[in-house]
Chains A and B, each alone.
Chain A
Amino acid sequence: MSDNSSNRIVIPLGPQHPALKEPGSFTLTLEGEKVVNAVIGIGYNHRGLEKALESRTYIQNLYMIERICGICSHTHSVAYCQAIEEMCGVEIPMRAKYIRVIIAELERLHSHLLWLGVAAHEIGFDTLFMYAWRDREMVLDMLAELCGNRVNYGINTLGGVRRDIDDNDAHEIKKILRVLHNQISYYLELATNEPTLIARLADVGKLNHDDALKFGAVGPVARAAGIANDVRKIEPYAAYDEVPVNVITDDHGDVLGRTLVRVKEMLESISIIRYCLDNLPAGEILAKVPRKVPAGEMISRTEAPRGENIHYINSDGSDIPYRIRVRAPSEANWHGMKHMLEGSFLADVPIAIAAIDPCYSCTDRAIFVNSDNGESRLYDWKGLREYSIKWHRDRGLNIADIQIPMAKNYIQIQRKTND
């Protein structure tokens, strides 16, 4: 598309995998190589998870909550569990809190290593991509050894954790952490000294201190702009009130700053895990939580690898939640994205998008916004269904006419055609 009145070109970027392997559409208006306007379209990955959570019991929801995000699954389940434990008035054992911290920090390590690899791939530095993902494999092996799974660990339950860490596990973790520490120190040296990397990342996706505050940025994006915003420090949860945590900040405010913050945070995570393993209290790992949660509402915050994660739970006194709302960290970081892209070059767009470490499926919600009067409302299940039927009818497609064969019949049909 081109606009003849001015020398501007509109380029659609996405929705098929614009930067990361997730869908999001970016309509960029270019003047030469420069981006003058960016329209961000998200919502391709809406799965109706919050609605699905309202039809399952609190225990069944544990596994649904973990699947909000594949990378930061532990932090979502910690936020969910601690909200319910607070509502039931249950104090979980100290050992369980420490194990939650260890898994959370291992998750941060694997998430940041994944990001480092993706970012390196975006800027064409594939050697670093291979290195980072090779090291990430060690962290995933550790998580598999501790929890039983590489992702969606299933270690949290209401009232504590499901798997214990014994001395043998602790010894193995420490051994791998030593190797990881050397590798990550090397990446830090690379990010601070390597001239090509610095030249590629400096002044890309700029978001300064005031803008980060204005757009409500969280996590490494805010910390790279000099805002010491870390839930682990400002509102300690789990065992973070006993564990020393240094909040890493940087004043670059660009992708280089975000890289430095993430790499330094990995070293910090390693020291937190070592502290937790050395000071792991003895005792039980599970406290009893009733199946029916008392009526009321609760907000719980955790620090996900991508930033602050907020869960809101409303209970009506039964064993099924009345409403669960999840504010994933990517949702807060999207607001500053338009500002970051405008004024940058087209070639910088993929790395600028990747630099906030966006998680699309965490974020996508079905909200109706009327742009004329700024009114917005959430769709309920019935409303969403009616809207879908109307949308298809307007395009000459009647859903009622479509016959969907049952799975068994479908297989029989397939077999017949094969014969």
Chain B
Amino acid sequence: MKIRLPGRILMKMLTTLVSKPATNTNPYDATNIPSKYRGRIVYDSSTCIGCGICMRDCPTKSLRVENIGTKENKKFIMHYSLGRCIFCCQCVDSCPKKSLSQTRDFLLATTDSSDLEEIMR
């Protein structure tokens, strides 16, 4: 196989000398997260009816809805385990009242495992 452009490698060398590093300083830099990226789930208790379909469809059992109000005056909270969640967002698709929604938040690493258990109100 013959080399078609002998000067190509020289050009590449010169551009590499003046170009910036290809890596970025994650997480301080603006990262190009895809627009449809599935990150942390957020919950809106005002629209929730407590049907529990999210609990039934969650493949890793990372969601639990609880009624902290009375039988007549219901108030729901969501126990959300970030450690179990696989970020498939099936709960977002399943929710009939759209109380759950996905975010593009992915910086969830922590040194304390208790941070992974969230209560969403």
CB-CB < 8 A to B88: which residues of A?
62-63, 154
Cβ proximity bits B61-77 to A, threshold 8 Å, 1 near / 0 not: 00000000000000000
Question: Shortest beta-carbon distance, A77 to chain B, in Å?
Answer: 11
Asked if B35 and A145 make an inter-chain contact with CB atoms under 8 angstroms apart, the answer reads yes
- CB-nearest residue of chain B relative to A193? B1
Given contacts A59-B90, A162-B93, contact A148 B34 (CB under 8 A): yes
From DSSP, what is the main secondary structure of chain A's interface residues? helix
CB-CB < 8 A to B113: which residues of A?
407, 411
Asked if A190 and B93 make an inter-chain contact with CB atoms under 8 angstroms apart, the answer reads no
Within 8 A of B (CB), among A117-153: 141, 144-149
Asked if A59 and B89 make an inter-chain contact with CB atoms under 8 angstroms apart, the answer reads no
Bound-state CA distance A189–B4 (Å) is 14
CB-CB < 8 A to A45: which residues of B?
none
From DSSP, what is the main secondary structure of chain B's interface residues? loop
Question: CB of B86 within 8 A of chain A?
Answer: yes
Asked if A57 and B57 make an inter-chain contact with CB atoms under 8 angstroms apart, the answer reads yes
CB-CB < 8 A to A62: which residues of B?
59, 88, 90
Asked if B36 and A56 make an inter-chain contact with CB atoms under 8 angstroms apart, the answer reads no
Bound-state CA distance A363–B57 (Å) is 27
Question: CB of A194 within 8 A of chain B?
Answer: yes
Asked if A60 and B57 make an inter-chain contact with CB atoms under 8 angstroms apart, the answer reads yes
Give the number of residues in B that approach A within 8 Å (Cβ atoms): 17
From B37, B59, B89, give the contact of A56 (CB < 8 A): B59
Within 8 A of A (CB), among B38-65: 38, 56-59
Asked if B90 and A147 make an inter-chain contact with CB atoms under 8 angstroms apart, the answer reads no
Asked if B34 and A59 make an inter-chain contact with CB atoms under 8 angstroms apart, the answer reads no
Cβ proximity bits A47-78 to B, threshold 8 Å, 1 near / 0 not: 00000000011011111100000000000000
Within 8 A of B (CB), among A284-305: none
Within 8 A of B (CB), among A151-179: 154, 157, 162-163
CB-CB < 8 A to B93: which residues of A?
157, 162
Asked if B35 and A190 make an inter-chain contact with CB atoms under 8 angstroms apart, the answer reads no
- CB-nearest residue of chain B relative to A194? B1
Q: What are 10 A-B pairs with beta-carbon distances under 8 A? A: A57-B57, A62-B90, A63-B59, A63-B88, A145-B36, A146-B36, A154-B88, A162-B93, A189-B1, A194-B1
Residues in A lying within 8 Å of B, measured CB to CB: 56-57, 59-64, 141, 144-149, 154, 157, 162-163, 189-190, 193-194, 407, 411
